[in-house]
């Protein structure tokens, strides 16, 4: 297993993009874009280039990620396999959100189907059955008989309390990431620091950005914010989270962080600057793990993190070209997307 996975990850790592390659994609003639994408292992995006449906582009990007994940998961067994497969489930959790919001809004079946993500071999939901639920409570009941029962159960309770779509989505997200942490723990025991560092970069960033957004963009009370965060893990243990949610500004939250994390943020004063700093730290950490002799599963996970980041940026370039934005405008958008904006 180790030899196959390490070899495959090393081969796949050659598909990752450099800044120079992104710049070239922005500036090459329109007719050369499909060939350039194909050379970079993005044949599905090349075949769909020029389409006007942004959801279709998003769907092709997810399909590319799932296809590469399918190859990487092939030799895996036990907790390693379960973890990588669960990593794909966040896309299917998006389907759950779409289904629930549509039922809450009384949307028609025909308008809903195009927005659902095709999970291919990773699908665990019978979408045909779910879209025909009579109402949102019936949909919850059906979802509670799927592999997402634990995640959905938390969301149903939140919905019964508030009927707030935002709280519903946030509760689903929290439950998903709690499941990710749970599945990472046996791998961290075997893989050590590289895997733990990758997980910390995801969970710490998620917690801090959620805390700032929920507290200061949505003005949620501290107790509600604390409930919606991923439980105390990595650098954000429960005591620290409890202290942070009571702060009264973005600046005071940053000032209350542990010194090492405060240095990482490098003087950030806004939620977007915090996100950008933590995203850059996560990407650098993933590159270090990918190019090391780390546990094979950790290297594969690092690759998937970086590949998704790349494809998010490819999406911005293709949309910018479709909208006939200037090269400089696309470059600017690309810089924003590198830290999660778009």
55-79 per-position pLDDT tens digit: 578 888 999 999 999 999 999 999 9
182-240 per-position pLDDT tens digit: 999 999 999 999 999 999 999 999 999 999 999 999 999 999 999 999 987 899 999 99
In a domain, 99, yes or no: no
Q: How confident is the model at residue 320 (pLDDT cuts 50, 70, 90)?
A: confident
Q: How far apart are CA 220 and CA 223, in angstroms?
A: 8
Task: Give strand ranges (E) for the chain.
Answer: none
In a domain, 55, yes or no: no
Q: How confident is the model at residue 51 (pLDDT cuts 50, 70, 90)?
A: low
Nearest to 278, CA basis, from 264, 289, 290: 264
Q: How far is CA 208 from CA 101, 120, 175, 215, 340, in A?
A: 26, 33, 16, 11, 14
Give the contacts of 175 (CB within 8 A, at least 6 positions apart).
Answer: 150, 151, 154, 155
Q: How far apart are CA 47 and CA 169, in angstroms?
A: 33
**Who has greater pLDDT, 148 or 335?**
148
80-101 per-position pLDDT tens digit: 999 999 999 999 999 999 999 9
Query: Does residue 337 register a pLDDT over 70?
Result: no
Q: What is the mean pLDDT of the chain?
A: 90
Query: Does residue 342 register a pLDDT over 50?
Result: no
In a domain, 17, yes or no: no
In a domain, 4, yes or no: no
In a domain, 89, yes or no: no
pLDDT at 57: 83
Give me the number of domains the chain comprises.
1
In a domain, 169, yes or no: no
In a domain, 211, yes or no: yes
pLDDT at 55: 55
The domain containing residue 200 runs over which residues? 193-294
pLDDT at 53: 53
- What percent of the chain has a predicted confidence (pLDDT) above 70? 96
Query: Does residue 309 register a pLDDT over 90?
Result: yes
In a domain, 253, yes or no: yes
């Amino acid at each position: 297993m180790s030899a196959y996975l390490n070899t495959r990850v090393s081969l796949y790592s050659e598909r990752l993009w450099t800044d120079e390659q992104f710049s070239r994609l922005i500036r090459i003639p329109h007719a050369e874009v499909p060939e350039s994408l194909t050379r970079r292992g993005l044949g599905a995006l090349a075949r769909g280039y020029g389409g006007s449906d942004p959801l279709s582009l998003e769907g092709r990007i997810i399909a590319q990620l799932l296809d590469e994940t399918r190859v990487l998961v092939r030799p895996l067994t036990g907790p390693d396999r379960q973890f990588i497969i669960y990593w794909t489930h966040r896309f299917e959790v998006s389907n759950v959100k779409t289904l629930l919001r549509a039922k809450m809004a009384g949307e028609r079946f025909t308008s809903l189907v195009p927005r659902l993500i095709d999970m291919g071999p990773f699908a665990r939901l019978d979408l045909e059955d779910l879209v025909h639920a009579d109402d949102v409570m019936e949909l919850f009941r059906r979802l509670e008989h799927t592999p997402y029962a634990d995640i959905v159960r938390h969301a149903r309770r939140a919905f019964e309390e508030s009927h707030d779509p935002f709280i519903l989505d946030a509760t689903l997200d929290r439950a998903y990431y709690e499941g990710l942490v749970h599945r990472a723990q046996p791998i961290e025991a075997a893989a050590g620091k590289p895997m733990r560092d990758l997980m910390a970069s995801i969970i710490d960033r998620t917690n801090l950005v959620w805390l700032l957004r929920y507290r200061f963009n949505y003005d949620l009370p501290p107790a509600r914010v604390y409930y919606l965060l991923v439980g105390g893990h990595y650098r954000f243990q429960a005591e620290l989270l409890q202290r942070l949610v009571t702060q009264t500004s973005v600046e005071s939250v940053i000032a209350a962080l542990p010194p090492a994390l405060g240095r990482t943020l490098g003087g950030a004063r806004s939620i977007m600057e915090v996100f950008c700093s933590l995203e850059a730290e996560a990407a650098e950490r993933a590159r270090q793990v990918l190019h090391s002799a780390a546990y094979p599963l950790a290297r594969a996970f690092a690759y998937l993190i970086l590949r998704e980041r790349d494809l998010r940026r490819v999406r911005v370039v293709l949309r910018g070209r479709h909208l006939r934005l200037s090269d400089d405008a696309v470059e600017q958008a690309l810089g924003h997307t590198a830290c999660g904006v778009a």
